[in-house]
Amino acid sequence: MTGDLTIGLLIDMAHILTVTMNPAVDIWTSVGRVEPLKKLRCGPARRDPGGGGINVARVACRLGSVATALYPAGGNTGQILQRLLDEENIRSIPIQIHEETRQDFTALETTTGHELGVRPRRAPPARNGVCYVRRQNFDTAPHTFRGGSGPTPCDALRAALSKATDATE
């Protein structure tokens, strides 16, 4: 788990802090046509870091801002998410959790232009690790965005996010 000192230093240098409570690795591909009971051959898969706050950080960095993404990450998928953010040079504060980070799958049906999105049921918010981040770590970020939906898992984080702009509004 990342220590308070490291989190404080990262946020002090950031102009934007995003908080994503339910991040994902988004998997994208294409298929000619979706047909029941047939094996579908798809194009190459692309993986992107995802989740409301992470998406805000990605766009902010592409537009020239400095952003730091704070998010829970667990299991092999959490490691993939961290690697994908590193590849895009997005500063991040992954909070290690026991649960596996979710994956979302989307296939574009090329003959119709329709998208088929397969999303696992929303996991309960990560509880271990996230509450380790204390309110003082948020006070130094001039702009804080909370992406996604769902409950905030602990009082300390809820208080810190009370002044945040909700990126979903």
The 10s digit of each residue's pLDDT in 46-78 is: 999 999 889 999 999 998 888 889 898 999 999
Q: CATH second-level architecture of 4-161? A: 3-Layer(aba) Sandwich (3.40)
**Do the Cβ atoms of 68 and 7 come closer than 8 Å?**
no
pLDDT of residue 134: 43
Check residue 20 and give its pLDDT.
87
Q: What is the mean pLDDT of residues 135-151?
A: 53
12: number of CA atoms within 13 Å, CB side? 7
Task: Inform me whether the pLDDT recorded for 8 exceeds 80.
Answer: no
Q: Which residue has the higher pLDDT, 1 or 86?
A: 86
Short-list 166, 59, 73, 62, CA closest to 123: 73
Q: CA nearest 160: which of 126, 127, 133?
A: 133
Of residues 141 and 30, more confidently modeled: 30
